[in-house]
């Protein structure tokens, strides 16, 4: 369950980049959630030509099972939606539909799982199919299970919409299958929005804004509570999730998510741009261009990886500021404190787990 493999005492492992998708990779089935989003928007009165402007999507194509979209097309679709629809409910409404049984292997597997732990295993193992635009990382932290959401392809201004959709989807799934609603806690890096009533309706009142990470958490006690709709065929469905003929399963993560994974797991080597690019099989200039294409740059990704490791290590028993500074390649504790303040708005001693 713990998807973070790097440890305080790791010194030998060298993580090699795995196959990844890019912002212009065609792999998202148009007839699944993109079609549901388009239909929702049209039902709310948004004109079709405005909704599809600049996406390269044509209505007659999206109903076919052979038409696939790129993350960039999906981002443009969401941008158009937010430009012409002002009450901000569609991300939440789509979330409620996202994991409903639609007779696809993925949704059948999710709805046939025996408990929350099984659902999270499916989500993490098949992210490219189930939630392709975000990267989910699960970690045990004391008595809690925490799911961290990260940008996988360069969502930029669309990140909030995707978070609202995915948090609602998982919350809705657990409400449907658990004997009682799970007491999820939601943490978002964005400020409290003007449409807070949508969060109250769809996520409840355990929502925290201006956090330093995007996450949702629940007590570990709920992980193995049996679900009321568990079937004897759940394992069969889980094993049928992956379709080996689909482009989506030639890679597990998006380019930004794989870069983050590489940097975290190689932090002991103090990876620089040149070494990272070489391990990704390209020149530094090509790697910089690829990061720019995904609305990022190397220092941003390196700081993100170091920030998250600092937070994790500082909350571990026995990890001192001096140890963390050394592991993250700061010259001294003062430099760590300055960086930590910049990353989180707090000094290390004032840090709680999710802010």
Q: Which tens digits make up the pLDDT trace of 1-28?
A: 554 444 444 555 789 999 999 999 999 9
The fraction of the chain above a pLDDT of 90, given in percent, is: 63
Average pLDDT, stretch 83-87? 84
pLDDT digit string (tens) for 43-65? 999 999 999 999 999 888 777 77
Token output for 72 = 């960039």
Q: Taking 70 as the threshold, does the pLDDT of residue 289 lie above it?
A: yes
Is residue 269 scored above 70 in pLDDT? Answer: yes
CATH of region 21-225, choose from 3.90.1520.10, 3.40.50.300, 3.30.230.10, 3.40.605.10: 3.90.1520.10
Angle between helical axes of 255-265 and 284-293 (0-180°, round to 10):
130
Position 303 pLDDT exceeds 90: yes
Give the percent of the chain with pLDDT over 70. 87
Average pLDDT, the chain: 87
Q: Which pLDDT value is given to residue 78? A: 96
Mean pLDDT of 207-228: 93
In eight-state DSSP terms, residue 140 is E
Worst-scoring range by mean pLDDT, 101-115, 212-226, 258-272? Answer: 101-115
pLDDT band at 74 (very low <50, low <70, confident <90, very high): very high
Q: Where are the domains of the chain?
A: 21-225, 254-350
User: CA separation (Å) from 108 to 67, 121, 125, 182, 222?
Assistant: 22, 14, 15, 21, 21
Phi, psi of 136 (to 5 degrees): -105, 135
Q: What is the pLDDT of residue 349?
A: 73
pTM exceeds 0.75: yes
Residue 235: the pLDDT is: 52
- What pLDDT was estimated at residue 245? 41
User: Counting every residue, how long is the chain?
Assistant: 355
Distance, in Å, from the CA atom of 106 to the CA atom of 118, rounded to the nearest integer, reads: 13
Query: Distance between CA atoms of 154 and 150, rounded to whole angstroms?
Result: 10
CATH of region 254-350, choose from 1.10.10.60, 3.30.499.10, 3.65.10.10, 3.30.1490.20: 1.10.10.60
Contact between 273 and 291 (Cβ < 8 Å): no
Q: Which of 84-88, 125-129, 249-253, 301-305: highest mean pLDDT? A: 301-305
Confidence of residue 286 (pLDDT cuts 50, 70, 90): very high
Closest CA to 216 of 145, 313, 123: 145
Which of 281, 308, 128, 304 lies closest to 290, judged by CA? 281
66 vs 338, residue with greater confidence: 338
Please determine, for residue 331, whether its predicted confidence score (pLDDT) is greater than 90. Answer: no
- Does position 348 have pLDDT exceeding 90, yes or no? no
> What mean pLDDT do residues 227-232 have?
66
């Amino acid at each position: 369950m713990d998807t973070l493999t790097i440890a305080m005492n790791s010194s030998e492992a060298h993580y090699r980049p795995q196959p990844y998708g890019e912002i212009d990779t065609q792999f998202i089935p148009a007839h699944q959630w993109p079609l549901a989003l388009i239909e929702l928007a049209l039902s709310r009165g948004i004109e079709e030509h405005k909704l599809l402007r600049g996406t390269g999507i044509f209505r007659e194509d999206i109903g076919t099972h052979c038409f696939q979209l790129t993350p960039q097309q999906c981002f443009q679709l969401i941008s158009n939606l937010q430009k012409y629809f002002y009450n901000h409910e569609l991300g939440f409404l789509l979330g409620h539909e996202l994991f409903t049984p639609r007779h696809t292997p993925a949704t059948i597997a999710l709805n046939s799982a025996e408990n929350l732990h099984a659902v999270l295993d499916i989500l993490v193992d098949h992210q490219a199919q189930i939630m392709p635009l975000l990267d989910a990382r699960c970690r045990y932290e004391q008595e809690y299970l925490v799911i961290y959401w990260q940008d996988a392809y360069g969502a930029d201004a669309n990140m909030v919409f995707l978070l609202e959709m995915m948090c609602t989807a998982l919350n809705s799934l657990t409400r449907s299958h658990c004997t009682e609603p799970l007491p999820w806690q939601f943490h978002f890096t964005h400020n409290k929005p003007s449409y807070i009533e949508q969060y109250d309706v769809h996520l409840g009142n355990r929502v925290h804004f201006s956090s330093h990470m995007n996450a949702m958490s629940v007590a570990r006690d709920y992980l193995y509570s049996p679900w009321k709709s568990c079937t004897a065929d759940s394992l069969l469905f889980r094993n049928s999730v992956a379709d080996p003929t689909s482009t989506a399963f030639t890679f597990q993560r998006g380019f930004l998510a794989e870069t983050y994974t590489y940097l975290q797991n190689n932090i002991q080597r103090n990876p620089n741009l040149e070494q990272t690019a070489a391990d990704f099989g390209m020149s530094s200039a090509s790697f910089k261009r690829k990061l720019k294409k995904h609305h990022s740059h190397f220092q941003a990704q390196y700081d993100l990886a170091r920030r998250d490791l600092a937070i994790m290590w500082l909350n571990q028993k026995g990890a001192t500021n001096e140890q963390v500074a050394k592991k993250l390649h700061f010259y001294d504790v003062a430099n760590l404190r300055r960086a930590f303040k910049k990353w989180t708005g707090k000094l290390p001693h004032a840090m709680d787990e999710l802010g």
